[in-house]
Amino acid sequence: MVINSKVSTSQSEIWNLISSIPDPEIPCITISDLGIIRGVKSTNNEIVVQLTPTYSGCPAVSAIEIAVRKKLQENGINAKIERVLSPPWTTDWISKDGKDKLKAYGIAPPRRNTNKNKQFFSSETAECPKCSSTDTHMISNFGSTACKAQYSCNSCLEPFELFKCI
């Protein structure tokens, strides 16, 4: 149930408040960088924040929703959180700034998969976030989170993770 919210709070103010919330699994990027904030709308004195999970089984979805609700409540705003599943999230929605933050953090950002015959979550090569070499190889399709894979660089010999392309 949604309690009366500040009527004077604009949708852009709400967007600005929640856009700085870090992703709980990859704290170097925000939920705005990920592109999962789909909208903020107000109807009938009710504020609704629309979020699209990165994938349906993502364990961080509930934590993100709680963080959004908490951030708004700290600012006197009560809102309903609505999961938007269509269209499904894609790594194309990660901002350029988000991809730069991933690389600076040591995670290779996803590259657009142009080969439609390749398997889901696959990448032929990954650019090393440390030395930018593409002479890399996959160690495991499973990284520290379900959205990442483990790679190693043959040039600088550093291990790194790749944010999988969806």
Q: Which fold has domain 11-83?
A: GMP Synthetase; Chain A, domain 3 (3.30.300)
Domain boundaries, the chain: 11-83, 91-163
Tokens 């961080």 locate to 60
CA 122 from centroid of its chain's CA atoms? 18
Q: What distances in angstroms separate CA 138 from CA 37, 145, 154, 159, one per listed residue? A: 31, 15, 11, 10
Per-residue pLDDT tens over the stretch 97-107: 999 999 999 99
Per-residue pLDDT tens over the stretch 113-153: 555 555 545 556 799 999 999 999 999 998 888 889 999 99
Give the 3-state secondary structure of residue 165: coil
